[in-house]
Structure 1
Amino acid sequence: MYSLFDGSGYMMGMHGLGWLGLLVLLVLLVGVFLSGQGRSMDRSGDRRETPHEVLRRRLASGDITVAEYEERKAVLDRDSSRSA
């Protein structure tokens, strides 16, 4: 009768495919962790615009007037000084 641990190597630690599966799982977990690190990036890989940058861009494109720009910028500056 054979024992499971008779020195023949059967059931002695993980088999080769078990180690490979563990390695694949580890790589996937590291990949998920690293993909969560770039939350300030949008899907295209570019960083997101700050509210001030959006406001400047809208002024430059003519979406808002200078008076609207100054009014909205004052609100952003006031809100940012409160949160700081």
Structure 2
Amino acid sequence: MHYHDGHFLGMHFVWWIVWIVIGVFFFLFYSSLFQVTKKESPLEVLKRRFAKGEITKEEYKEAKKVLDS
């Protein structure tokens, strides 16, 4: 191989870019794969539904009584 004519140096630079892109891809993929998801409690779901207007105030109070008991 001829190291001094510049061809090897250019290809070496391309391979560094390829490995960096592959590394970033795997890092993002695996970090999102092992991310712990928070599970909502029933009371949080009830509050969210009330805030969105999916249930009325009376339905909210009744369901909250059931959950608290």
Flag the structure with higher helix content.
Answer: 2
Instruction: With the length of structure 1 as denominator, give the TM-score of the two structures.
Output: 0.40
Q: Which has the higher contact order (CA 8 A, sep 6+)?
A: 2
Instruction: With the length of structure 2 as denominator, give the TM-score of the two structures.
Output: 0.48
